[in-house]
Amino acid sequence: MHIRFTKMQGAGNDFVVLDETRGALGLSKAQYRWLADRHFGVGADQILTVRPSPGPGLDFEYIIHNADGGEVEHCGNGARCFVRYVRDKGLTDRNPVRVKVQQGELSLRLNDDGRVTVDMGPPTFELGRIPFNSQDLDPQTRGAWEQWPLQLTTDRQVLVSVLSMGNPHAVMLVDDVDTAPVREWGPQIENHPRFPARVNAGFLQVVDRSHVRLRVFERGTGETLACGTGACAAVVAGIRLGLLDNEVDVQTHGGVLTIAWQDDATHTAPVLMTGPATTVFEGEVDVPDVD
């Protein structure tokens, strides 16, 4: 199958963007995996597919596949690239743009400085909806919130905060992201049996109340240069643990994302994420029939 694609990146989290607004491409899971493959395909952390509006009040729908070919609920950096794509391609002149993703609807605004602000909606803390199995675990209190002990190996236990930004996140505090064992502990947390849908593992270093450094080992992809939902989850966790103010610059290996969350007693305020979204190149490719 011969297809056109656009290669994009947001803070170094990179995407192959496909247009299905004029008809479905019908790619299989294995073909998404092939497109994401950096050696045999185009190469990307995720594949974003733009579709027409599924209903009233919505401008588009977009779906997300991880590099392993699995479809996922949400992608923060991808959302910013999505809006840059539909505006640059002339598919809409609306601002903000409203889009359906698997777990709800998002509102995205292209700012005058070229960055994009996404209303990511409220975080979810209900353990069963993350999903996280806390049976027989005793949480430790820090600030006004909790951290859960997670046994990684017989002799290693870590503390994580768990929440969903539409997709599942476990956030652990580290002294220094540069020396944190992200590549070793990341897969152990991602595939931990306490997370039945697997999880994105964030490693958060608090610099001061409005600056953090973050690395994320993403479910279905591995470590990326930035993770938008991971940045939201890390800042929400930092705020609830009493460590951060309501607006925080998150330094990732690929750039800075600004996350704002006006928390109150209900913890239901939406999280706002602002960051870059850039087109890298356009291309065409023959996608093989792969298994």
Ligand X SMILES: N[C@@H](CCC[C@H](N)C(=O)O)C(=O)O
Q: Is 75 in the site for ligand X (CB under 6 A)?
A: yes
Q: How far apart are CA 238 and CA 37, in angstroms?
A: 34
Q: How far apart are CA 36 and CA 77, in angstroms?
A: 16
Nearer to ligand X, 102 or 246 (CB): 102
Nearer to ligand X, 196 or 288 (CB): 196
Q: Is 164 in the site for ligand X (CB under 6 A)?
A: no
The CA-to-CA distance between both ends of the chain, in Å, stands at 14
CA-to-CA separations, 172 to 77, 122, 181, in angstroms, rounded: 21, 20, 12
6, 49, 167, 274: residue in contact with ligand X (rule CB under 6 A): 167
220, 238, 254, 276: residue in contact with ligand X (rule CB under 6 A): 220
Residue 140 beta carbon to ligand X: minimum distance, rounded to whole angstroms: 26
227, 236, 239, 277: residue in contact with ligand X (rule CB under 6 A): 227
Nearer to ligand X, 70 or 139 (CB): 70
Residue showing tokens 């903000």: 96
Residue 191 beta carbon to ligand X: minimum distance, rounded to whole angstroms: 12
> Is residue 36 a contact partner of residue 22, using CB atoms and an 8 Å limit?
no
81 is catalytic: no
Q: Is 76 in the site for ligand X (CB under 6 A)?
A: yes
Q: Is 66 in the site for ligand X (CB under 6 A)?
A: yes
Residue 191 is labelled as binding a ligand: no
Q: Is 46 in the site for ligand X (CB under 6 A)?
A: yes
- The catalytic position among 174, 214, 227, 236 is 227
> Is residue 120 a contact partner of residue 271, using CB atoms and an 8 Å limit?
yes
Nearer to ligand X, 86 or 259 (CB): 259
7, 215, 219, 240: residue in contact with ligand X (rule CB under 6 A): 219
- The catalytic position among 11, 17, 75, 273 is 75
Q: Is 218 in the site for ligand X (CB under 6 A)?
A: yes
Tell which positions 16-45 bind ligand X, by CB under 6 A.
Answer: 45
Nearer to ligand X, 87 or 219 (CB): 219
43: left (phi over 0), alpha (psi -120 to 50) or beta: left
> Is residue 110 a contact partner of residue 277, using CB atoms and an 8 Å limit?
no
Q: Is 83 in the site for ligand X (CB under 6 A)?
A: no
227 is catalytic: yes
Q: Compose the 172-211 pattern: x for residues touching ligand X by CB under 6 A, - for all others.
A: ----------------------------x-----------
Interface ranges with ligand X (CB under 6 A): 13, 45-46, 66, 72, 75-78, 167, 200, 218-221, 224, 227-230
User: Which residues are the active-site residues?
Assistant: 75, 227
Bind-site residues for substrate:
13, 46, 66, 76-77, 167, 200, 218-219, 228-229
